[in-house]
Amino acid sequence: MKKRNIGMTLSLVLAAGTLLGACGKSDNNKDTSKGGDKEKAFSVAMVTDVGGVDDKSFNQSAWEGLQKFGKDNGLEKGKGGYDYVQSKSDADYATNLNTLARQDFDLVFGIGFLMQGAVEEIAKQQKDHHFAIVDSEVDQPNVASILFKEQEASFLAGVAAAMTTKSNKIGFIGGVEGAVIERFEAGFVAGVKAAKPEATVDIQYAGAFDKAELGQSIASKMYSSGADVVFHAAGGTGVGLFKEANDLKKKDPSREIWAIGVDSDQANMGPDIVLTSALKRVDNAVIDVSTKAKDGNFPGGKVALYGLAEDGVGLAPINSKAPNKAAIETAVKDWTDKIKSGAIKVPGTRAELKTFSAK
């Protein structure tokens, strides 16, 4: 009986050891998945606004930046790597942000100031997740706010427009009125006035970022009224500007009319009519914030401001067909140096524009 009891005791001890060993292995595996030998790869995603990921503008620029970051860091498109969700309406913003957070992306971008309310709402609900918003400010510890000095890029575009116009009539098409587009508007008008005080700027707003037909209608009226250079800061709505300019050029190849793009280099929208583009390097900003987050330096609760000095904005190459290309390039370089040095401060609001002097 004693031998049998001893045998049973040893069996129980061995069984208990086996169970403890199994539990230990389970814990080790759990630790590994969180950050041991097989550390979880950093993942990042973005939600577009209604303009869509192929808006030829800031949504597309953001996605290009996210793709570059993903590829440079060996990530794959999709869950656990880098990805995007496209919004079809304003009502999709909060849902899409929440979906990506629940999919456990380490950082989720909301692209565009239209998403401010949604980012603020979801960031409060998902306090353990990191978010970033482009073109607006959300005062939450888990949100990085990304802003640009759009006025500096549009100022340079205004200089180019003023040095190109022959009618002294220039147009500006805005998307939805707000602080961001006002910066584009104020900077552009300041640049025009700095280079050619006698030139006038016709300012019109479409009230949308995704209505190309509306953009074309506004552009048609501007060109018909004598404008020969038109700049848009209207996202997908601005596609209509290019269509109108291309159509008019086809009807009369000798007619000298120009369009100026925004956010990304939009030269491919019309090699005969796109003078240049006011660049807003959303791609660079997305890469910068993603890199900081990946390295453990996420700028939560802070505002990251990108201007000419930070390579956050700029001007695309001047069209080689522009009659005074060299003179424009020289002027743009001179004004760029003045802005970077602080010799002049480009106005970012209509109120600042009223008191602006380029002297």
Domain ranges, ordered by start, for the chain: 44-148+284-306, 150-279+324-354
- Residue 58 confidence (pLDDT): 83
The CATH H-level (homologous superfamily) assignment of domain 44-148+284-306 is Response regulator (3.40.50.2300)
pTM of the model: 0.82
Report whether 235 contacts 209 (CB < 8 A).
Answer: yes
Fold of 150-279+324-354: Rossmann fold (3.40.50)
**44-148+284-306 shares its CATH topology with 150-279+324-354:** yes
Host H or E run for residue 25: helix 2-35
pLDDT at 31: 36
Residues sharing a CB contact under 8 Å with residue 115, sequence separation 6 or more, in sequence order: 47, 49, 93, 97, 133, 136
CB-based contacts of 277: which residues, under 8 Å, 6+ apart? 157, 260, 261, 262, 263, 264, 265, 266, 267, 315, 316
Residues in the chain: 359
Q: What's residue 182's pLDDT?
A: 98
Query: CA distances (Å), 261 to each of 236, 264, 285, in order?
Result: 11, 7, 20
Query: What is the structure's pLDDT at 39?
Result: 64
Say if residues 162 and 196 touch (Cβ distance below 8 Å). Answer: yes
Q: What is the mean pLDDT of each run of 10 residues along the chain (359 residues)?
A: 43 41 40 44 94 84 96 96 95 97 97 95 97 96 97 98 98 96 98 98 96 98 98 95 98 97 94 97 95 97 95 96 97 98 96 94
Separation CA 61–CA 265 (nearest Å): 10
